[in-house]
C-alpha cells in the first residue's frame, strides 16, 4: 500500500509539472551539436583476410569497414504549438577504416606477391534534413525532446590504394577509387534538454540515421583477375549517433 501511494504521488507530481510548464509553446531555438557515430550493419563490418583470398576470379565484399566516426551539426526549430515545431538539421560526419591489415593480407595472398601495403582515406557524409520537432516539458529545468527528419545525404566512399612489392620490384598499385552519391536519408532521435539559463540550454540525445546510396566504384591498376574487387556498393549507411549540444532559445520564459 505504501508503494502504491508513492507511485500515485510521483505520477501526480509529474503530471502537475507537465501541466504547469506546458502552458506556453516552446521558444524558437538554434543550436550546435557534435558527438560519435556507431556504424551498423554491413557498413560497420570488416571481412576476414581468408574470406578475401581468391586466385581464380575476384571477390565482391559487402563489408564497409567503417570505424566509430565523429560528426558535427547545426539545427534549429520554430514551434507552432505547445509541443510541436518544424525545423531542420545540417550535419557533417567522417569515418576512418578499420581492419586495413586484413585487406592487405587478402590482396597479398590473392596476388601471390611478397608484400602489399594498403593505405586508405575515409567515408565523408553531408546531410540536410528538415522535419518535425517535439518538446515535452518535465520540470522547470528539463525537457524531453524528439525529432523525425527526412532529407538528403551526400556520401563519398574511401579511396583504397594497394602498393605491391614482389622480388624487390614495385608493381603498379591497385586502386579502388572514391565514389560519391546523393540519396534519400532520414533520422529519428530523442534526448533531454537542460536549461542553464533562461535562454541557454544543453542537449544530450541519441539518433538513428539511415541512407542507402548506390555507389558505382572505379578501379584501376589491376592486371589480374584475383582478390577483392568492389565495383558497386549499395549497402545501407546506417548508424546510431550520440551527441551533446548547446542551444540558444529566443524569448524563453521558463
Note the helical H segments in 22-132: 100-111
Confidence of residue 252 (pLDDT cuts 50, 70, 90): low
For 55-114, list the strands marked E by DSSP.
57-59, 69-79, 84-95
What pLDDT score does 190 carry? 97
Confidence of residue 16 (pLDDT cuts 50, 70, 90): very low
What pLDDT score does 24 carry? 62
DSSP 229: -
Residue 231 pLDDT > 50 = yes
What pLDDT score does 23 carry? 47
Total Cβ atoms within 10 A of residue 43 = 19
Domain boundaries, the chain: 2-249
Quick one: what percent of the chain has pLDDT higher than 90? Answer: 72
Tell me the pairing of strands 84-95 and 69-79: antiparallel
C-alpha cell at 65: 569497414
User: Do the Cβ atoms of 116 and 108 come closer than 8 Å?
Assistant: yes
Confidence of residue 253 (pLDDT cuts 50, 70, 90): low
Tell me the pairing of strands 180-195 and 142-156: antiparallel
If phi > 0 it is left, if psi is from -120 to 50 it is alpha, else beta; for residue 168 that is: left
Residue 1 pLDDT > 70 = no
> Average pLDDT of 24-39?
90
Tell me the pLDDT tens digit for each residue of 159-186. Answer: 999 999 988 888 899 999 999 999 999 9
DSSP 68: S
> Average pLDDT of 41-49?
95
What pLDDT score does 146 carry? 97
Q: pTM (2 decimals)?
A: 0.85
Tell me the pLDDT tens digit for each residue of 115-144. Answer: 999 999 999 999 999 999 999 999 989 999
**Average pLDDT over all residues of the chain:** 89
Tell me the pairing of strands 29-39 and 69-79: antiparallel
What pLDDT score does 126 carry? 97
CATH class in words for 2-249: mainly beta
SS3 139: coil
Total Cβ atoms within 10 A of residue 125 = 23
What pLDDT score does 57 carry? 82
Amino acid at each position: 500500500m505504501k508503494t502504491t501511494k508513492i507511485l500515485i504521488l510521483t505520477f501526480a507530481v509529474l503530471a502537475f509539472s507537465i501541466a504547469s510548464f506546458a502552458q506556453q509553446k516552446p521558444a524558437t531555438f538554434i543550436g550546435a551539436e557534435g558527438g560519435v557515430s556507431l556504424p551498423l550493419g554491413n557498413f560497420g563490418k570488416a571481412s576476414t583476410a581468408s574470406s578475401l583470398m581468391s586466385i581464380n576470379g575476384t571477390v565482391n565484399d559487402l563489408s564497409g569497414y567503417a570505424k566509430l566516426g565523429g560528426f558535427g551539426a547545426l539545427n534549429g526549430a520554430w514551434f507552432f504549438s505547445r509541443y510541436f515545431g518544424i525545423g531542420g538539421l545540417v550535419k557533417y560526419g567522417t569515418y576512418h577504416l578499420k581492419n586495413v591489415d586484413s585487406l592487405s593480407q587478402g590482396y597479398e595472398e590473392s596476388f601471390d606477391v611478397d608484400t602489399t601495403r594498403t593505405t586508405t582515406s575515409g567515408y565523408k557524409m553531408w546531410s540536410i534534413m528538415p522535419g518535425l520537432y517535439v518538446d515535452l516539458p518535465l520540470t522547470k529545468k528539463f525537457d524531453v525532446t524528439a525529432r523525425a527528419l527526412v532529407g538528403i545525404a551526400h556520401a563519398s566512399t574511401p579511396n583504397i590504394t594497394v602498393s605491391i612489392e614482389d622480388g624487390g620490384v614495385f608493381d603498379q598499385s591497385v586502386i579502388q577509387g572514391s565514389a560519391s552519391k546523393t540519396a534519400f536519408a532520414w533520422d529519428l532521435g530523442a534526448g533531454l534538454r537542460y536549461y542553464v539559463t533562461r535562454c541557454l540550454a544543453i542537449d544530450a540525445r541519441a539518433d538513428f540515421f539511415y541512407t542507402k546510396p548506390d555507389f558505382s566504384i572505379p578501379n584501376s591498376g589491376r592486371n589480374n583477375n584475383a582478390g577483392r574487387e568492389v565495383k558497386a556498393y549499395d549497402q545501407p549507411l546506417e548508424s546510431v549517433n550520440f551527441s551533446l549540444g548547446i542551444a540558444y532559445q529566443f524569448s524563453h520564459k521558463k
